[in-house]
A and B are shown apart, each in its own frame.
Chain A
Amino acid sequence: MRRFVLIAVPYLWLLALFLVPFVIVFKIALSDAALAIPPYMPTMKDGLSAMFSQLDFENFVFLTEDDLYWKAYLSSLRIAFISTVLTLLFGYPIAYAMARAPHEWRATLMMLIILPFWTSFLIRVYAWIGILSTEGLLNRFLFWIGAISEPLTILNTSTAVYIGIVYTYIPFMILPIYAALERLDASLIEAAEDLGCSRMKAFWLITIPLSKGGIVAGCFLVFIPALGEFVIPSLLGGSGTLMIGKVLFEEFFSNRDWPVASAVAVILLLILIVPIILFQRNEQRQQEAEG
Chain B
Amino acid sequence: MVETVFAPWDDPNTAPLISFKNVTKRFGDFVAIDDLSLDIFEREFFALLGPSGCGKTTMMRMLAGFENPTSGSMSLSGRDIAGIPPNKRAVNMMFQSYALFPHLSVWENIAFGLRRDGVAKDVLNARVEEMLKLTRLEKFGRRKPHQISGGQRQRVALARSLAKAPKLLLLDEPLGALDKKLRQDTQFELMDIQEQTGTTFVIVTHDQEEAMTVASRVAVMDEGRIIQVATPEKIYEAPNSVYVADFIGDVNILTGPVKAIGADTYSLNFGGKEPVTAACDRTFTEGETTHLAIRPEKIGIHAERPDGPNAVQGKVLDIAYLGNLSTYHVQLPSGQIIKAQTANTRRISRRAFTWEDPVWVSWSATAGVLLDQ
Interface of A toward B, CB cutoff 8 Å: 185, 187-188, 190-198, 201, 206, 209-210, 289-290
Contact = CB atoms under 8 A, between A and B. Distances in A.
Given A190-B66, A196-B87, A185 B113 contact: no
Nearest to B61: A190
Interface string B78-89: 000000011100
Given A190-B86, A190-B95, A191-B95, A196 B101 contact: no
Contacts of B102: 210, 289
The 10 A-B pairs with the shortest beta carbon distances in the complex, nearest first, are A196-B116, A195-B113, A191-B99, A187-B99, A193-B86, A196-B87, A209-B103, A194-B93, A187-B95, A194-B86
7 contacts: A190-B93, A191-B93, A193-B85, A194-B87, A195-B87, A196-B116, A206-B101
Nearest to A186: B99
A92 to B, nearest CB: 18
Nearest to B163: A195
A289 B113 CA distance: 24
A187 B103 CA distance: 15
B116 A194 contact: no
Contact of B112 (A190, A192, A198, A209): A192
B117 interface: yes
Given A190-B95, A196-B117, A210 B87 contact: no
Interface of B: 64-66, 85-87, 91-93, 95-97, 99-103, 112-113, 116-117, 146, 160-161, 164
Nearest to A196: B116
A195 B97 contact: no
Given A187-B96, A196-B164, 5 more contacts: A191-B95, A192-B112, A194-B92, A206-B101, A210-B103
Nearest to B96: A187
Given A206-B101, A210-B103, A195 B95 contact: no
Nearest to A190: B66
Contacts of B116: 195-197, 201
A191 B101 CA distance: 9
B92 A195 contact: yes
Nearest to B91: A194
A194 B101 contact: no
Nearest to B103: A209
Contacts of A192: 101, 112
Nearest to B157: A191
A192 B164 CA distance: 13
A202 to B, nearest CB: 8
A187 B161 CA distance: 14
The winner among A190, A198, A201 for most chain B CB atoms within 10 A is A190
A210 B102 CA distance: 8
A54 to B, nearest CB: 56
Given A190-B66, A210-B102, A197 B87 contact: yes
B56 to A, nearest CB: 17
Nearest to A206: B101
A187 B164 CA distance: 19
A290 B102 CA distance: 9
A201 B161 CA distance: 18
B252 to A, nearest CB: 41
Contacts of B64: 190, 194
Contacts of A289: 102, 146
Contacts of B92: 194-195
Nearest to A290: B146
Given A196-B116, A196-B117, A188 B87 contact: no
Given A196-B87, A196-B117, A185 B99 contact: yes
B87 A190 contact: no
A193 B99 contact: no
Nearest to B112: A195
A188 B86 contact: no
A142 B193 CA distance: 67
Nearest to B116: A196
Contacts of B96: 187
Contacts of A290: 146
Contacts of A193: 65-66, 85-87
B87 A187 contact: no
Contacts of B101: 188, 191-192, 206, 210
B164 A195 contact: yes
Nearest to B144: A289
A185 B66 contact: no
Contacts of B85: 193, 198
Contacts of B161: 194-195
Contacts of A188: 99, 101
B2 to A, nearest CB: 40
A208 to B, nearest CB: 10
A192 B97 CA distance: 14
A201 to B, nearest CB: 7
Nearest to A210: B103
A185 B112 CA distance: 17
A188 B86 CA distance: 13
A267 B103 CA distance: 38
Contacts of B160: 195
A96 to B, nearest CB: 18
B153 to A, nearest CB: 13
A188 B113 CA distance: 13
B95 to A, nearest CB: 5
A133 to B, nearest CB: 47
Contacts of A197: 87, 116
A195 B64 CA distance: 10
Contacts of A195: 87, 92, 112-113, 116, 160-161, 164
A194 B103 CA distance: 18
Contacts of B95: 187, 190-191
A127 B97 CA distance: 49
A40 to B, nearest CB: 53
A89 B160 CA distance: 34
A209 B104 CA distance: 10
Nearest to A189: B99
Contacts of B146: 289-290
